[in-house]
Amino acid sequence: MIMAALDYLLEVLLCLYSLLMLFITPYTKVEESFNVQAMHDLLYHTKDIDLYDHLEFPGVVPRTFLGPIFISGLSYPLVQLASMQDCFNKFTSQYIVRGVLGLIVSLSFISFSRSIRTTFGPTVSRFLIVVTLTQFHFVFYLSRPLPNVFALALVLLALRYWLLAEQFTFILLSGTAILIFRFELSILFGLILILELFSRRLSLTKFLTYSLPVGVALLGLTVFVDSYFWRRWVWPEGEVLWYNTILNKSSNWGTSPVWWYFTSALPRSLLFSLFLIPYGMYYDFGRVTLLLIPALGFVGVYSLLPHKELRFIMYSIPLFNVASAVGHAQIWKNKKKLHLIFPLISISSLFLSWLASLFLLYLSHNNYPGGYAFHSLHKLVQTKDPITVHIGVEAAMTGVTRFGELNPSWNYSKIEGFEHSSSDMQNFDYLLISASDYEYYNDTHEIVHKEVGFSRLSFALRQFPPNISVVLTDKIFIIQNRERNNE
């Protein structure tokens, strides 16, 4: 009874921690833009697709509407209920949709952890959740409306059914994740499929019998739904695959060395629990290796693409964490046989990871100056008279969304391409601009508000004790047109 209560408590803590991160970092970045704007439009413009953001700002490649439709549908009753409260404003809806997404993915992770309980035992399952709670990036991403996160919910469930040998469900979920959300997952699930075929747990005939009708149905679903919203025939993930992989144009957004995922992304994601993975492999080599082969293979193959981001490999983190959890569990199972140093290593790795996560959470809180500036604009300018606001590129990339457009009488514009101080820019009452661009407006505008954001870390290692400080600098200025203000 006590252990069952502990399991339930850990699962609840995971959900609460993901929601806590949401409330500490409520704003979104540019890579989340399509999904968050789509959820706004589905909730507030419903059938009036002419008003949808993606038609005006389509982005480089199209994305599927299936994820936003699912989350918006679940969120709609909560949004309607919240709108009846006096304290409600439209930005509350962004909390709701992100909270619903976070809970969905958290529940998928909990379902995965329960399959670990079945296959590895309850102690490993508990340590899996504890290890995850002490890390930053994975829990931080749970409520972020990225295509990777929509896929992550399906990946976790697919991994569960793989471990439980429920092959049709595994193929259905993995196929959905690949064809609708992230095609690169064909690497991860392809490696798992090879293991299944090689071990004869799955025959090629059965795989084809399952996968062909599932694939045709899923492809038809995404083409049918997304072609309606994009107003042309489209398979979004097919175009993403063509753009990023075949044309290799994702490298336009920066490149990293081939080893970057192993030397930077994974250490930052796994933190100090990384050091327990070899111990887990030592004690349960066969089963742990079965999980690490697809995880390492996926990261290794994906490293060949020049453009790299941590979020691209987040699906592998739970598999690495299982290996770490096995290491923790074995230490405490054999603590009487081991030297005291081993339990201390276990506790220290969890504690240090948790401290590092809190520090990273603080940095992230200061990494969305556009969102905070947009919120400040609505607090500082109380008028309900029609005014015009231009949202600059940096502000749009660091937190401004349509959920933040709180005043229906204001005109908000994200149109790009205007030259600084041009007549087009002079027609706006307020501008949200990068701090570095204010020199162009010094003669015509006055600063209403300065929003700071994270700039860098400062290290003073020669002093005692050594000091690490966070340097915040001006990022976004809210400026007001002097001439229009005097009219």
pLDDT in tens, 259-283: 999 999 999 999 999 999 999 999 8
Task: Say yes or no: 342 and 397 in one domain.
Answer: no
Q: Are residues 336 and 421 in the same domain?
A: no
Angle made by CA atoms 450, 452, 455, in degrees to the nearest 5:
145
Same domain, 289 and 267: yes
Instruction: For residue 325, give the amino acid letter.
Output: A
pLDDT of 484 over the 70 cut: no
Read off the pLDDT of residues 454-470 as tens digits, 9 standing for 90 and up.
998 887 767 777 778 88
**With 90 as the cut, is the pLDDT of residue 443 above it?**
no
User: Which pLDDT band, with edges at 50, 70 and 90, does 420 fall under?
Assistant: confident
Residue 486: the pLDDT is 56
What pLDDT sits at residue 14? Answer: 96
37: left (phi over 0), alpha (psi -120 to 50) or beta: alpha
Question: In the prediction, which pLDDT does 245 show?
Answer: 80
Spatial distance between the Cα atoms of 327 and 341, rounded to a whole number of angstroms: 14
Determine the pLDDT at residue 229. Answer: 97
Span 207-217, average pLDDT: 93
pTM of the model: 0.94
Q: At what angle do helices 341-365 and 2-24 cross, to 10 degrees?
A: 30
Residue 341 has what pLDDT? 87
Q: Could you tell me the residue range of the domain that residue 400 belongs to?
A: 369-485
Predicted confidence (pLDDT) at residue 82 exceeds the cutoff of 80: yes
Kindly state whether residues 222 and 341 are assigned to the same domain.
yes
Question: Do 348 and 385 fall within a single domain?
Answer: no
51 and 24 within one domain:
yes
So what's the pLDDT on residue 109? 98
Last-in-domain residue among 338, 366, 394: 366
262 shares a domain with 355? yes
Average pLDDT (110-135) is 96
Q: Cβ–Cβ contacts within 10 Å for residue 468, how many?
A: 10
Q: Is the pLDDT of residue 81 over 80?
A: yes
Q: Are residues 173 and 122 in the same domain?
A: yes
In the chain, the N- to C-terminal Cα span, in Å, equals: 72
Q: How confident is the model at residue 487 (pLDDT cuts 50, 70, 90)?
A: low
Query: pLDDT tens digit string along 337-377?
Result: 777 888 899 999 999 999 999 999 999 999 999 999 999 99
Q: Which two tokens stand for residue 220?
A: 């038809």
Burial of 341 (0-12, 13-18, 19+ CB in 10 A): exposed
Q: What is the mean pLDDT of residues 292-306?
A: 95
Average of per-residue pLDDT across 395-410? 94
- If asked whether residues 101 and 219 sit together in one domain, one would say yes
**Whether residue 106 sits in one domain with residue 91:** yes
CATH value at residue 448: 3.40.190
Q: Among 19-28, 38-47, 55-64, whose mean pLDDT is lowest?
A: 55-64
Q: Could you give the number of structural domains in the chain?
A: 2
Identify the pLDDT of residue 169. Answer: 95
Query: Measuring CA to CA, which residue among 65, 72, 136 is closest to residue 101?
Result: 72
Residues 184 and 263 grouped into a single domain: yes
Arithmetic mean of pLDDT, 105-121: 97
Q: 416 falls in which pLDDT band (50, 70, 90)? A: confident
Structural domain ending residue among the three candidates 306, 336, 366: 366
Give me the residue label for tokens 């299936």: 66
pLDDT at 424: 85
**Does position 253 have pLDDT exceeding 60, yes or no?**
yes
319 with 414, same domain: the answer is no
Domain's final residue, options 366, 381, 405: 366
Average model confidence (pLDDT) across the chain = 93
> Is 124 within 8 Å of 326 (Cβ atoms)?
yes
Whole-angstrom Cα distance, residue 436 to residue 320? 42
| Least confident piece of the model among 157-161, 199-203, 265-269, 278-282 | 199-203
Please tell me the distance from the alpha carbon of residue 239 to that of residue 233, in angstroms, as a whole number: 11
